[in-house]
Structure 1
Amino acid sequence: MSMSHKKKPAGRPPARRLLDRLLTTKTHTRDRAYSSGLQLTDVIGHLAVSRTGQVTAWYVAAPQRWSFRTDSDRNWLITAHATRLAELTGRRIHLRITHRPYPVHRWAEALHHATLDPLPGWERYLEEEQRKIARLPLDDKIVYYGVRVGRLSSAGRSSARLMRSAITRESSAIADQAGIVDRIMAAPGMDARPADPAAMDWLLTRSIGLGLPAPVVLPRPSGVWTPEDIAEWTEGIEWTAPDPYSPHIKVSGERDGQRVERYVTVTTLGQMDLPAIPESGYGPWLQRLDRLPFPAEVSATIDVRDGKEANREVLDQLARVQAQRDHHAEHRVAEPMSLARQGALGQIIEDDVRSNFSGLSTRVQCWVRIAVSGRDPEETRARVRMLTEEYTPRVTVVRPAGQYTLAREFIPSEPLAVDSHKRRMPVTTLAGALPAASAEVGDRHGPNLGFTSGITRRPVMWHPWRSQEVRESSGLTPVVGSLGAGKTVLCGQIVYNTSRMGVPWVVLDPSGPVTRLCSLPELRPYSKAIDLMRAEPGTLNPFRIIPDPDPAHYRPDAEEYRNESDPQSAAEDAYRSAVANAQSQRKTLCMDVMSGLLRSQITDSEMTQRALHLAARRVDATTHASPRDFLTALRQLEGSLEEHARDIAELLEAAAELPQGQLIFPRVEAGDDRYQSAHHRLVVMSMRGLTLPTEGSSRAEWSLEEQYSMPLLYLAGWYAQRSVYDRPMSDRKGLWLDECHEMLRVSSGRALLRKTGRDSRKHNVRALYGTQDAGDILTADISNWVDSVFVGRTVGAEAQAAALRLLGIDPGNGYESVLAGLSQRTRGSDQRRGSREFIWSDGDGGIERITVTLDHRPQLRDALDSTANPHKRTATPAENPYVTLSKGGGAS
């Protein structure tokens, strides 16, 4: 098939002017031979003209999200779709569903262009990822609607040179009808835009080359095509049917310089027994095709019936039923129960059509064809069986004879081949097909996370900094899930992939296993694992880990101050305010740390709190201060608090002598430790050996080790954040804080998470917050900065409700069981759960169930595996001692 379209002038004149030109230049259609052999003769913008003069306006529907919506939202979507269809009463609609493959190399190219400074080995990484993604279909579903808007009469054409006024009236009427349909199709529920030349080109390419592989490159067509142009789409394409009753046709043609052929079978939908949608959970009945592991083409011809016509037909059917019942009564024979059912159903339909004025009582009749193709007849038959099984038992899938004429229905402007298998239904049942419903999530610009595992199975990509750089949103991503939900594997994969893109990451890992990332050969030269528990005394000095604001971030020409009346003063005021906030945060952080080092009985005392507050007010809150200055301020308090303050100072002095306390209290003024993370792409700060309290336990029950662990944890969080903020403001950066729910127990920990979320867009940071309970995020006053959310397996009614709210889903709609069912493990099985599942809200309107898998990278998978494995340290299992005994050896 040759696709060398002729060059046309740029731009597209209004439809009315083009129709005028078409009428004045074309002769009678019956007197003209068309080399294409198609009914389609002309394309004007999104209007297609047939030999008989029928004008059809073509539209492309926007994808509709179905997953993780409430039943009320889904019902609204179906009702809105039905309302739009009802507004097209009296018109014929041609529904076409096709697919546009997305080549894997195009994704790799997009990822490469989105990468600024990759690590060595980047080309090999891209090659490995392409092989992984190529195993799954990476194509886009495109839904077309063709709506008849009028007809160009043959009389008008033949008299074109004599009656200019008749031409003007006819083209004006068609243009007006097209405008009416444009508005209907653009309304909510349909959300369809007129097809542009590229979309029309793709529609013809996929329809005439039915079943053939999609061409890799298509030219950029113009907006007006003549019969000579139409013929180019059929050039080189051959359709052959072995015999009239053959179960398929053979389609062959040129694709990228090679001759290829496919065997195509067209099926049609027969009897339907559809349950209530969405209440039954069956889902849109055309969306079921997305579950197939191969693309299926759809062509549906739909007539939206006039109410009077539909009512007249129902009355005729009722009259036939009554005649049969009278006939049985006349012969005194018991009538079949089916007659009574048909009569009752007919009366319901007749009453609905006659008394319902909402438009939702509109009836439609339709013929739904589904085409599948294969490389040989055996593959095609196997795919037809899979299609049939997908709809069994609710819908009958039939393979009629006359495959050649049925296949022609897929081409725009071709007539209906046969009238058999006509389906009559309410417009709401047709709307329940929701052909544009899809499972889109993520983007095509970032690394691969896994694949969707709900209705469809498609690769999932995500560029973590596209939100900040393109959508101007925040970079805060909570990762929620119970123990074993897979949070470490997911976050570790994100860190690994983007580190290879060259993005620097700082990871705070309280338990220590993530440090194994730094040992992977591809990351080892560019990574550093820091054991904070063995760091120099004073490493976690609360006054040093909160840096002073950088004056370079407060320039008058910055976006925040550019529109102020005095940008210079506004920038200076903002800088002074930031300095004051930093000093206030240091005091609060120091006071929280000192409180955390004391027993709860002492901390809860009103005198203790007053003493700590007074000491915090007196201490110098610059980066040169020390907690020892805080102790000095306590000892200098006078009055009623003097003795109590001295006792507190002595207790804190004793804590400073312990190994954990030495991390907080420096012996002398420490030097600059920024060198530890400044020159590495991946820095993992481990607190291996940190003993965190049991979730939900009372502070009074904590051991001394647990008591000291809490202040160290949120100090380490501030320390990790400082390492990120030391980098240039606009550079991409990543921060992963694991076990962040522990930090939310104190004000300074909450301030850390709020500050990171608030500044993530301005500082271009993607912040991953790992937590076991979404309620922590909701109560921490940071949900306003949440961009995307990952929710893994979650148990417990309260935790599930909080997780759903974080996803933007109202609890109580049945999705609690979905959260509990993620990453299921079979009872009694010795096998581990394997790949983990998450519900992902991508921050851009997509919410889907995804599976995160690392099967193609076993070394990375093993490095991130935090499950206990006593055999991991030995190359081979220990020898069974009973084997030796059975060989004759005895115990001495």
Structure 2
Amino acid sequence: MTPTTKTGAGVPRRGRLRLFTSSDATAKPTRPVSAGLQLSDIIGNLTITRGGQVTAWYLASPVRWSFQSMGDRNSLILAHAQRLAELAGHRIHIRVTHRPYPVARWAADLHAGVIDPLPTWAQYLADEQRKVARLPLDDKVVYYGVRVGRITSAGRAVQKLVRGAVDRQLKALQRDITDVDRIMSGPGMSAVPTTASDMDWLMTRSLGLCLPAPLDTRPQPNDRWRADDLHEWTSGTEWTSPSPYSGHILVSGDRHGRRVTRHVAVLTLGRMEWPAIPESGHGPWLQSLDQLPFGYEASATVDIREATEAGNEILSQLDAVRHQVRHHREHGIEVPISLGRQAATGREIEDDIRSGPTGLSARTKGWYRIAISAPTEEELRERITRLSERYGTHCAVQHPSGQYALAREFIPGEPLASDAYARRMPVRTLGGSLPAVSASVGDRRGFNLGYTSGTARRPVMWHPWHSQEVREASGLTPILGTLGSGKTVLGGATVYHTSQMGVPWVVLDPSGPVRRLCSLPELRPYSKAIDLMASEPGTLNPYRIVPDPDPGHYTAELYRYEDNPRQAADRAYRQEAQRARGIRRTLATDVLMGMLPPAVARTAETALVMHKAAERADTSVHGSPRYVIEQLRKLDGSHSEHAQDIADLLESAADLPQGQLVFPSVDGDDQYTTRHWRLVVLNLRGLALPSTDTAREDWSVEEQYAMPLLYLAAWYAQRSIYARDLHDRKGLWLDEGHVLGRVSSGRELLRKSGRDSRKHNARFLLSTQDGQDVIAAGIENWIDSLLVGRTTGIEAQRAALRLLNVELGAGYEEMLAGLSPQAHGDTKRRGDREFVFSDGAGGIERITVPLRHRPALLQALDSTADPHAARAAAGPWSSVGVSEEART
């Protein structure tokens, strides 16, 4: 910052940095900029001013607010207020800034974590970097500075002669510092003393106020800075004013090899009338700044006052109000409404001070500043308006003069610019500011899933295999949402991104649109869409699609914590082999029962003979449903005649095209198909799935056979994770999960996929319309992450919230129904789809999944009917039955 001449009111005192105005263009710097700062030393997390004031700085841990219960939110506010109350007698400085996460670093980390990506990976990564660069990929950093005391002027003089003089005086303050350390580390703050890097960042962002943040911080050899070290932050930075009494200042600095200038305005919060938080539905009042579509810096200077001290002042003011009220009444004059309101408010404050909760009756006096910037004055005015609208009628946002002095408050150690606009409030109200609340979900390791659209707008990265490889968690991710919520787009986007990363996927696509992924140019050479309805006979043989366990997956190393690892591994292998035989028997029974007429399948006698025949049939991987028919014909006794009838019905079903997929003519092995391709989409085009509202008695023959074929196709897809190496990353996506949970074999499939996903390093996506299907399937305990789209119906909403572990009845049901709202106008479709994302590591946020930067991918995953597209493909004369050839 260049020290220059200030004109107009509020001329700074001698020895402080002065302001350069446009009318003083010939002014020359006469002294180092550091001479104008009050700050003189930084020792560890302590800052010392020229006047000897010592402030301890702490870094607050991020706090989650989204989707917390009302009780948890109140607990956060009260815990924060309690910590503040324990600092009574101290002045604290709250600084909110942001630390950017370089997009290039994210891309480099993502690239380092992929294994054998596709040849188009380099272009894909470049495209994703451009997309992410348009979003604020940064972390909110919240500092608390607590004034802990003062060193004497004598010690300051001795410092020049004896290097350890300050250290000895600081040692005398150690008891107070230790006490503050204890308070700041408690619940509600969870703050830790700042490191050298943290202090460097605080000074960088304060002296370069609102300038673009440097992407790389300087290396710090130690944690001690003296006055002559401050040039590292002030060199090349200049604060000027475009005119006297201007409503903003110009901040210029060198960033990334070029000179950058920003118009910076400092606003202050005036009169406040906050509704009850969180009961009113409003969030923390300082955290709401995160919802601004542009960057900001915040600074607050707060005096935490003892209840008795503040009470005496308030009671004195209240006495004055009472005298005025009495004076009006003595003269028979009606008491003004404003005066009556002041008297009522004073009585409430008096009661709060005298009988409020222990430790929370403290009062605060604070000054709250917000700095925003823009490249131009016009844009800055627009942003000031946006900020005022952000707080609405709950808080008056003031734009005072003396901008230079107000901006100085953002620098550690600088005094208040003015005592004006002081806000007095209970410590509980200040506790409701919660500046450390942040939108945090996902990780910084994986592909860009989208961006948060609730409390803030931040990119959301997700690495679907980090849970299995690092956190040793499951890989099950249900995708919930009603029709049109975007489940297909979300699942398809996940498959696309991770296929680029080199991960093989098998997708069960009952309705058909996902097969278009295989036609994208970048995926076409490595993908295969298989039409199961046109496959070889026996492709969906229920005995063959359930593989035997691989002995190589049951090594002693995996059971090294058992008393006898080798014996434990053998026992686990035998149990899994036995479970596979049981699954084949159950699956074959369910499938064959599904091929019988409903009236026949419901009888107890049918269930009895089918159970006996399945028990006697071969349950190895070489088995066949035809063996069950053979056993039915061999049954004797009182049920033999009925068994013969069932066998005849199944023989007839085996002759149908759908039945031929189940009953093999010969045995074979087609696992090479799923192993060879990176992306395999199993398609069931032409399969007529019955509506959930249709009774089974009303199903057509096609619908009757469709159900067991879907079960078998799901098992066929699931088998793929066992055909690859145990440690390789792999993915499985099953659609129509609500259908799979209707029978025992389908529920067992879902449980097995969820249970085995960690051991086999597989990400298992399960799309379904209702969370109740997930609960009924018994896989709730294996859920790692969860994505919930637009959900209607109170029971479906409650089930989704239960899976999210979110409180019922707190208004989140309406929020689920409002995701991905319909665009205004009946001719417009919904835009980007929204989901609630629970990342499995404690983060839950509302996110938006955009694909506009990849129009080909979006078009491929679009499952909405478009008759115009079909007509355009067929030609303009198709509607009247005339071909192009005939017309010409």
Distance 1:682 1:121 in 2: 15
1:540 alignment counterpart = 540
Distance 2:879 2:853 in 1: 38
1:35 Cα deviation after fit: 4.1
1:325 Cα deviation after fit: 3.3
- 1:105 to 2:135 alignment: no
- 1:688 to 2:699 alignment: no
1:860 Cα deviation after fit: 1.0
1:613 Cα deviation after fit: 1.7
1:268 Cα deviation after fit: 0.6
2:820 alignment counterpart = 823
Contact 2:33 2:234 in 1 (8 A): no
1:243 Cα deviation after fit: 4.5
Q: What are the equivalent positions in structure 2 for 1:391-410 lying under 5 Å apart?
A: 391-410=391-410
1:258 alignment counterpart = 258
1:297 Cα deviation after fit: 0.5
2:9 alignment counterpart = none
Q: More deviation in 707-716 or 62-71?
A: 62-71
Which amino acid is the alignment partner of residue 232 of structure 2?
E
1:709 alignment counterpart = 706
Which amino acid is the alignment partner of residue 486 of structure 1?
G
Contact 1:267 1:370 in 2 (8 A): yes
Contact 2:475 2:758 in 1 (8 A): yes
Q: What are the equivalent positions in structure 2 for 1:385-534 lying under 5 Å apart?
A: 385-534=385-534
Distance 1:272 1:244 in 2: 30
Distance 1:181 1:34 in 2: 32
> What whole-Å deviation, never above 9, does each CA across 1:395-427 have from its counterpart, x for those lacking one?
111111111111111001111111000000111
**Structure 2 residue ranges without an equivalent (≥5):** 3-30, 881-888
Which amino acid is the alignment partner of residue 869 of structure 2?
K
1:77 Cα deviation after fit: 1.2
Which amino acid is the alignment partner of residue 477 of structure 1?
T
Q: What are the equivalent positions in structure 2 for 1:115-194 lying under 5 Å apart?
A: 115-157=114-156, 170-194=169-193
Shift in alpha-carbon separation, 1:733–1:160, aligned structure 2, 3 A: closer
Q: What are the equivalent positions in structure 2 for 1:149-298 lying under 5 Å apart?
A: 149-157=148-156, 170-221=169-220, 222-298=222-298
2:61 alignment counterpart = 62
Shift in alpha-carbon separation, 1:33–1:498, aligned structure 2, 3 A: closer
- 1:627 to 2:598 alignment: no
Distance 2:224 2:573 in 1: 59
Secondary structure of the residue aligned to 2:478 is: strand
1:295 Cα deviation after fit: 0.8
Shift in alpha-carbon separation, 1:656–1:161, aligned structure 2, 3 A: closer
1:636 alignment counterpart = 634
- 1:92 to 2:91 alignment: yes
Distance 1:265 1:162 in 2: 42
TM-score for the superposition, normalised by structure 1: 0.92
Which amino acid is the alignment partner of residue 278 of structure 2?
P
1:653 alignment counterpart = 651
Which amino acid is the alignment partner of residue 579 of structure 1?
A
Q: More deviation in 383-392 or 709-718?
A: 383-392
Which runs of at least 4 in structure 1 moved beyond 6 Å after TM superposition?
A: 159-169, 880-883
- 1:770 to 2:743 alignment: no
1:734 alignment counterpart = 731
Secondary structure of the residue aligned to 1:58 is: strand
Secondary structure of the residue aligned to 2:370 is: strand
- 1:568 to 2:577 alignment: no
Secondary structure of the residue aligned to 1:127 is: helix
> What whole-Å deviation, never above 9, does each CA across 1:664-684 have from its counterpart, x for those lacking one?
11112x221012121111000
1:364 Cα deviation after fit: 0.5
1:231 Cα deviation after fit: 3.1
1:37 Cα deviation after fit: 2.5
Which amino acid is the alignment partner of residue 112 of structure 1?
H
Distance 1:786 1:160 in 2: 61
1:342 alignment counterpart = 342
Which amino acid is the alignment partner of residue 298 of structure 1?
A
Q: More deviation in 79-88 or 599-608?
A: 599-608
Q: More deviation in 851-860 or 779-788?
A: 851-860
Q: Choose from 789, 794, 798 the match for 2:795.
A: 798
Structure 1 vs Structure 2: percent identity of aligned residues?
60
Which amino acid is the alignment partner of residue 178 of structure 2?
G
Contact 1:100 1:141 in 2 (8 A): yes
Secondary structure of the residue aligned to 1:78 is: helix
Secondary structure of the residue aligned to 1:179 is: helix
- 1:718 to 2:715 alignment: yes
Shift in alpha-carbon separation, 1:731–1:161, aligned structure 2, 3 A: closer
Which amino acid is the alignment partner of residue 488 of structure 1?
T
Distance 1:567 1:450 in 2: 44
Distance 2:166 2:259 in 1: 45
Distance 1:225 1:160 in 2: 14
> What whole-Å deviation, never above 9, does each CA across 1:431-487 have from its counterpart, x for those lacking one?
111111122222222222222222322222211111111221111011111111111
**Structure 1 residue ranges without an equivalent (≥5):** 3-31, 884-892
Shift in alpha-carbon separation, 1:330–1:510, aligned structure 2, 3 A: closer
> What whole-Å deviation, never above 9, does each CA across 1:331-368 have from its counterpart, x for those lacking one?
55443222222122112211211122422222101000
Contact 2:871 2:879 in 1 (8 A): no
1:51 alignment counterpart = 50
Secondary structure of the residue aligned to 1:873 is: helix
2:868 alignment counterpart = 871
Contact 2:361 2:427 in 1 (8 A): yes
1:646 Cα deviation after fit: 1.9
Q: What are the equivalent positions in structure 2 for 1:851-862 lying under 5 Å apart?
A: 851-862=848-859
Distance 1:125 1:599 in 2: 51
Which amino acid is the alignment partner of residue 87 of structure 2?
L
Which amino acid is the alignment partner of residue 537 of structure 1?
P
Shift in alpha-carbon separation, 1:334–1:641, aligned structure 2, 3 A: closer
Distance 2:778 2:768 in 1: 15
2:16 alignment counterpart = none
Distance 2:775 2:215 in 1: 47
Number of equivalenced pairs: 851
Q: What are the equivalent positions in structure 2 for 1:592-631 lying under 5 Å apart?
A: 592-631=590-629
Q: What are the equivalent positions in structure 2 for 1:322-341 lying under 5 Å apart?
A: 322-329=322-329, 333-341=333-341
Contact 1:871 1:877 in 2 (8 A): no
Q: What are the equivalent positions in structure 2 for 1:574-593 lying under 5 Å apart?
A: 574-593=572-591
Contact 1:34 1:227 in 2 (8 A): no
> What whole-Å deviation, never above 9, does each CA across 1:565-605 have from its counterpart, x for those lacking one?
22111111111111111111111111111111112222222
Secondary structure of the residue aligned to 2:556 is: coil
Distance 1:232 1:500 in 2: 44
Distance 1:305 1:684 in 2: 67
Shift in alpha-carbon separation, 1:269–1:825, aligned structure 2, 3 A: same
Contact 2:52 2:156 in 1 (8 A): no
Contact 1:36 1:230 in 2 (8 A): no
Contact 2:823 2:829 in 1 (8 A): no
Q: Choose from 660, 664, 671 the match for 1:662.
A: 660
1:374 Cα deviation after fit: 1.9
TM-score for the superposition, normalised by structure 2: 0.92
- 1:781 to 2:817 alignment: no
Distance 1:451 1:148 in 2: 38
Shift in alpha-carbon separation, 1:401–1:700, aligned structure 2, 3 A: same
Contact 2:633 2:640 in 1 (8 A): yes
Contact 1:840 1:847 in 2 (8 A): yes
Shift in alpha-carbon separation, 1:492–1:167, aligned structure 2, 3 A: closer
Which amino acid is the alignment partner of residue 56 of structure 1?
T
Contact 1:302 1:364 in 2 (8 A): yes
Which amino acid is the alignment partner of residue 826 of structure 2?
S
1:697 Cα deviation after fit: 2.7
Contact 2:95 2:142 in 1 (8 A): yes
1:322 Cα deviation after fit: 2.8
Distance 2:594 2:878 in 1: 50
2:20 alignment counterpart = none
Secondary structure of the residue aligned to 1:48 is: strand
Distance 1:163 1:675 in 2: 79
1:533 Cα deviation after fit: 0.6
